[in-house]
Amino acid sequence: MALIVQKFGGSSVGDADKIKHVAKRVIETQKAGNQVVVVVSAMGDTTDELMDLANQVTDNPSPRELDMLLTAGERISMALLALAINAAGAQSRSFTGSQAGIVTDSKHGNARIAEVTPDRIREALDEGDIAIVAGFQGFNRETRDITTLGRGGSDTTAVALAAALNADVCEIYSDVDGVYTADPRQIPAARKLDYIDVESMLELAAAGAKILHIRAVEFARRHNVDLRVRSTFSTDPGTRVISGNRGENMEESVVSGVATDKSQTKIIVVGIPDLPGKAAELFNIVAEAGANIDMIVQNTATGVDVDDKVSDISFTLPKGDSAKVVAALEANQAKIGYRELEVDHEIGKISVVGAGMRTHSGVSATLFNALAKAGINIEMISTSEIRISVVTDITEADDAARAIHTAFGLDSEIEAVVYAGTGR
Amino acid sequence: MALIVQKFGGSSVGDADKIKHVAKRVIETQKAGNQVVVVVSAMGDTTDELMDLANQVTDNPSPRELDMLLTAGERISMALLALAINAAGAQSRSFTGSQAGIVTDSKHGNARIAEVTPDRIREALDEGDIAIVAGFQGFNRETRDITTLGRGGSDTTAVALAAALNADVCEIYSDVDGVYTADPRQIPAARKLDYIDVESMLELAAAGAKILHIRAVEFARRHNVDLRVRSTFSTDPGTRVISGNRGENMEESVVSGVATDKSQTKIIVVGIPDLPGKAAELFNIVAEAGANIDMIVQNTATGVDVDDKVSDISFTLPKGDSAKVVAALEANQAKIGYRELEVDHEIGKISVVGAGMRTHSGVSATLFNALAKAGINIEMISTSEIRISVVTDITEADDAARAIHTAFGLDSEIEAVVYAGTGR
């Protein structure tokens, strides 16, 4: 008998009919001879609606109470799913994060899972029940307070439970039937992958692909969890994310996929004195402002005066972090000694990811040729061992992604199937 | 320093602005030098909305899961109230029923409080925090499951916490500024009572007055809790419910109030053989059908045949229970041997309550004279030590209540103030 963890996102449990549909699927999985643990997110837009209520009460919500509020969302969806399963003749019981033994640190709003003690889940499974678990939430043992894991945290709940229960497989359900070579909403010729190695999946998640939450993928890699991405609305086997040894006999593809991210801002710090320690000074200030930097590029140029060498440093960061970083940099202009700041919100980042890049040469050449042929200007370039990212003007990002997708031979002849709903 | 428990009902926390208003009141109570514990119900119609969702999923919800679902309501309101209090500069922390130590039996949907272990509440108070507690909910220690206390259960949570914490006073807030001699929405001449003895309050609650939940009043009497009924929207001191010794030096009024209940159905079982054990047989069947009987009246009459003595037995019960009781009685007609059933949904019950009835005579005479003068026909009569109830046609119930209210000299010259909202 296999133990299967299934995670259903907010769009999969968006209303009573969808909840009944999920109930049916879950019962079928159990009837096929499996023990089943189901992790659910809050219904549809519930989390946003609760957040709106909090914002009506205060601009600056206390983190402990905000977590108490938001965790009501999964409580509602998990109880409804358990009701639907019981009504359909199977047995199920729902458990909050705390009841399921999801122990976290005390960082409200973005807690990390420290330990999983799923005794009650095991009990329920042993008694033949389907266990329904609230995603996104846990509790801190010292303070005995409820915590949340941050956006997308339900994926992490599912993978962590799968690891703790030594589950045979962890299935992440959404309205797309697997991991694609690109976002099929944007590039209809995108091809579904049957397999992807976990490192490439990590890079894709980091590069802005919305299909899996990056912390969940990291967790799966670390604990060697067999992770699958499937659709709630089809029976397609989906995409298997191959971790650790499981990937040994799989031939690595050169390029697994293309991800596009339009949520970033580029800041160029123009005319920094080209002296040792200046970059460190700059990024200390950025870090103190509390921003997550993504790409960094430095060009050293000759200044107006021949002896006066200066650099330009460009970096990208989430749009939402840009205002506080600009304010911090402006406050320290004299100290750093730069000439001016240029801020560009209208950028797109396109990343090409593939574990095979380690051993195959010519990947960058293919990429740059494709963009040159399409007449697209590259503003920044950054690379990792298995990823190349370029920044373009936001209006050219989709064209760039399509050109790259084609150049690497990823196009499918069949158009991708995208189901109703908005994702996770 | 006094310890005050304040309970705010659903209409008092119905939206963000009302929650901010409650936050202000609570903070003022603390600033006046008190420790404050606040018990809240779910916002406005949240509980009904959650119930609707459950009904969309199944006609027959499993009780454990329904409790898990409904308890999300108070979680939302308590977190929002804590957010509002913290935003206004005071310190507060919210606690679920389980975190507040509300231990119950395992009867989902209508659990009884078995024990209260408010260690975390005491801790929070000792640290200078305002403690916010979810009403209506608790947990069962054996099964470690979440339970609910039934409709109106938040009043009981407040009184039970007040008893366990040895609070100086327990204030129940709604949109009416106290206990009135009748429902001021129905009888504008109703007068607010400064005091009422707990026995009369119990009888009024049992007779259909909506102001306090009967289990909360019982709890207050048993544990000698100083209970007050006040309005969220005024500073009126409200009505003090005098328990046990506290009432010793208070002169008992003959009549405290008049309550009207239009939610009942009358069933007349016509032509039951007048034999020993027949009433027991009848009410066993009614009890097995799961109905709560209120008034019972039996008349023995002479049958068609002079030797064939038969009885008519009339009883009242909640409208919602009548269908199942009628079905059970019809299925057992041959066994009981009655001739026919008459069912009347169009009745009103008017009750007059007063601890002084014990020592004052003439109360029934005043009552019956008042109704006779108003030309109102009485269908049933039933009495307790401190209560007289009569049943009339539903169309005459309001007139009957007004006539009785006037006859006992309860009318005020000032019209009662009723605030916006629908009660609790």
Token duo for residue A399: 């064209």
Q: Report yes or no on A79 lying in a domain.
A: yes
Token duo for residue B247: 């009432």
**Is residue B150 within 8 Å of B112, Cβ to Cβ?**
no
Would you say the ipTM is above 0.85? no
Sign (positive or negative) of CA dihedral B374, B375, B376, B381: positive
d(CA A267, CA B337): 91
Give the burial string for B103-139 (b: 16+ CB within 10 Å, else e).
bbebebebbebeebebebbbebbeeebbbbbbbbbbb
pLDDT of residue A10: 93
Token duo for residue A412: 């499918």
**Pairing relation of β-strands B257-261 and B239-242?**
unpaired
SS3 B6: strand
Q: What is the largest CA-CA distance in chain B?
A: 82
d(CA A404, CA A183): 13
Q: Which of residues 129-148 of B touch A (CB under 8 A)?
A: 144
Q: Report yes or no on A191 lying in a domain.
A: no
Question: Using the beta-carbon criterion (under 8 Å), do B80 and A62 form an inter-chain contact?
Answer: no
pLDDT of residue B41: 96
Minimal CA separation from A305 to chain B, in Å: 54
Instruction: Give the chain A residue nearest B55 (alpha carbons).
Output: A16
Minimal CA separation from B85 to chain A, in Å: 9
Minimal CA separation from B26 to chain A, in Å: 15
**Is residue A75 within 8 Å of B71, Cβ to Cβ?**
yes
Write the secondary structure of A136-185 as one string of H (helix), E (strand) and C (coil). Answer: CEEEECCCCEEEECCCCHHHHHHHHHHHHCCCCEEEEEECECCCECCCCC
User: Going along B215-295, which residue ranges are E strands?
Assistant: 227-231, 239-242, 257-261, 264-273
Count of structural domains within chain A: 2
Tell me, yes or no, if B84 comes closer than 8 A to chain A by beta carbon.
Answer: yes
Question: Using the beta-carbon criterion (under 8 Å), do A83 and B61 form an inter-chain contact?
Answer: yes
Nearest to B80 among A57, A64, A75 (CB): A57
- Statement to judge: residues A165 and A67 lie in one domain: yes
Tell me, yes or no, if B53 comes closer than 8 A to chain A by beta carbon.
Answer: yes
Tell me, yes or no, if B75 comes closer than 8 A to chain A by beta carbon.
Answer: yes
Q: Which of A139, A154, A174 is the last residue of a domain?
A: A174
Minimal CA separation from A156 to chain B, in Å: 23
Q: Report yes or no on A22 lying in a domain.
A: yes
Identify the domain containing residue A91 by its residue range.
2-174
What's the pTM? Answer: 0.83
Tell me, yes or no, if A301 comes closer than 8 A to chain B by beta carbon.
Answer: no
d(CA B159, CA B195): 18
Q: Report yes or no on A211 lying in a domain.
A: no
With CA atoms as reference, report the closest residue to B256 among B418, B424, B390, B404. Answer: B404
With CA atoms as reference, report the closest residue to A390 among A229, A237, A207. Answer: A207
Q: Which of A122, A144, A174 is the last residue of a domain?
A: A174
**Is residue A88 within 8 Å of A27, Cβ to Cβ?**
yes
Instruction: Give the chain A residue nearest B18 (alpha carbons).
Output: A57
Residue A119: Cβ-neighbour burial (10 angstroms; 0-12, 13-18, 19+) = exposed
With CA atoms as reference, report the closest residue to A143 among A86, A180, A175, A98. Answer: A98
pLDDT of residue A293: 83
Q: Report yes or no on A96 lying in a domain.
A: yes
Q: Which of A125, A151, A174 is the last residue of a domain?
A: A174
Q: Which chain B residues contact residue A16 at CB under 8 A?
A: 53, 56-57
Question: Using the beta-carbon criterion (under 8 Å), do B16 and A56 form an inter-chain contact?
Answer: yes
- Tell me how many residue pairs between chain A and chain B have CB atoms under 8 A apart: 111
Report the CATH number at residue B136. 3.40.1160.10
Q: Report yes or no on A92 lying in a domain.
A: yes
Name the DSSP class of A11: G
Q: Report yes or no on B225 lying in a domain.
A: yes
DSSP states along A364-392:
HHHHHHHHHHTT----EEEEETTEEEEEE
Question: Using the beta-carbon criterion (under 8 Å), do B86 and A58 form an inter-chain contact?
Answer: yes
pLDDT of residue A250: 53
d(CA A53, CA A46): 11
**Is residue B384 within 8 Å of B306, Cβ to Cβ?**
no
pLDDT tens profile B128-168: 999 999 999 999 999 999 999 987 899 999 999 999 999 99
Q: Which long-range contacts (CB under 8 A, 24 or more apart) does A331-337 make?
A: A332/A285, A335/A281, A336/A269, A336/A272, A336/A278, A336/A281, A336/A282, A336/A285, A337/A272, A337/A273, A337/A278
Q: Which chain A residues contact residue B144 at CB under 8 A?
A: 99, 120
Sign (positive or negative) of CA dihedral B24, B27, B31, B33: positive
Token duo for residue B106: 């395992």
**Is residue A256 within 8 Å of A181, Cβ to Cβ?**
yes
- Statement to judge: residues A390 and A271 lie in one domain: yes
For chain B, 424 residues long, the average pLDDT of each consecutive 10-residue run is 96 96 97 97 94 95 96 98 97 97 95 95 97 97 94 92 96 91 88 90 85 89 93 92 61 81 93 83 87 79 60 89 93 92 95 83 86 90 86 94 92 63 36
d(CA B172, CA B152): 12
Report the CATH number at residue A342. 3.30.2130.10
Q: Which chain B residues contact residue A60 at CB under 8 A?
A: 87
d(CA A199, CA A187): 23
Instruction: Give the chain A residue nearest B132 (alpha carbons).
Output: A65
- Statement to judge: residues A28 and A153 lie in one domain: yes
With CA atoms as reference, report the closest residue to A355 among A261, A251, A259, A238. Answer: A251
Token duo for residue B272: 């039951």
d(CA B226, CA B204): 18
Minimal CA separation from B116 to chain A, in Å: 18
Q: Report yes or no on A187 lying in a domain.
A: no
Instruction: Give the chain B residue nearest A66 (alpha carbons).
Output: B79
DSSP states along A195-213:
EEEHHHHHHHHHTT--SS-
Would you give per-residue pLDDT tens digits along chain A (424 residues)?
899 999 999 999 999 999 999 999 999 999 999 999 999 999 999 999 999 999 999 999 999 999 999 999 999 999 999 999 999 999 999 999 999 999 999 999 999 999 999 999 999 999 999 999 999 999 999 999 999 998 789 999 999 999 999 999 999 998 888 999 998 888 888 999 999 988 899 888 888 777 888 889 989 999 999 999 999 999 999 999 987 654 454 556 778 899 999 999 999 999 888 887 888 888 889 888 888 788 888 776 555 555 567 888 889 999 988 999 999 999 999 999 999 999 999 999 999 998 878 777 788 888 889 999 999 988 888 888 888 999 999 999 999 999 999 999 888 876 655 554 333 3
**Is residue A321 within 8 Å of A354, Cβ to Cβ?**
no
